[in-house]
Amino acid sequence: MAKLVSLSEYARIRGVNKNVIFKGLNSGIIPYVLDEKGNRKIDVDIANKAWEENKGVDIQVALREEANEDPSTDTKTVPTTAATYAQSRSIREAYTARLSKLSYEEKLGKLISAEKVKITAFNTARIVRENILNVPNKIAYQLAAETDPNKINFMLTEALIEALEELAVGKLKL
């Protein structure tokens, strides 16, 4: 079974300040597990391996900060943003998988471009607008001949319903 120790204990084993271990945990360099109480515990063997693999990255900077040294004076240190080859490859593979998924969904027809949606929505709204604005032209002469306000209201309502139903049943051509 793996030897799990507290953060303070691991700091004593490595001979560094506990803050260095915290920075290693928070940056993902040093892996940890949670015990039954929710406390972070470190597997010494795994943490030592991770420490050695990432030597010179964030931990070196943390050590220098602990000693109050200026990190810009050391030109041999790798920048703090540097990632291991495995991390970089993992990130690249994740993005490649996401792009493949998008491409697959686009080919299935589950995914369409936003530009195509905008154009279709614009054209649909334009056709609806034109159909409704054409109603007065269609019934203007019939309304002019009517004097009964109730009959005029009924005729207008019927013409608008007819225009909207034409759009609803699929006579809309884009």
Cβ atoms 2, 45 nearer than 8 A: yes
Does residue 174 form part of some domain? no
**How many structural domains comprise the chain?**
3
- With 0-12 CB in 10 A as exposed, 13-18 as middle and 19+ as buried, what is 130? exposed
Domain that holds residue 90: 83-111
List pLDDT tens digits, range 65-78: 545 545 444 444 44
State whether 14 and 66 are in the same domain: yes
State whether 64 and 89 are in the same domain: no
State whether 14 and 67 are in the same domain: yes
Domain boundary among 63, 80, 97: 80
Cβ atoms 74, 40 nearer than 8 A: no
State whether 101 and 131 are in the same domain: no
State whether 34 and 87 are in the same domain: no
Token code pair at residue 54: 């990432």
Select from 161, 155, 103 the least CA-distant residue to 131.
161
List pLDDT tens digits, range 147-167: 999 999 999 999 999 888 888
Does residue 44 form part of some domain? yes
Does residue 173 form part of some domain? no
**What's this model's pTM, rounded to 2 decimal places?**
0.39
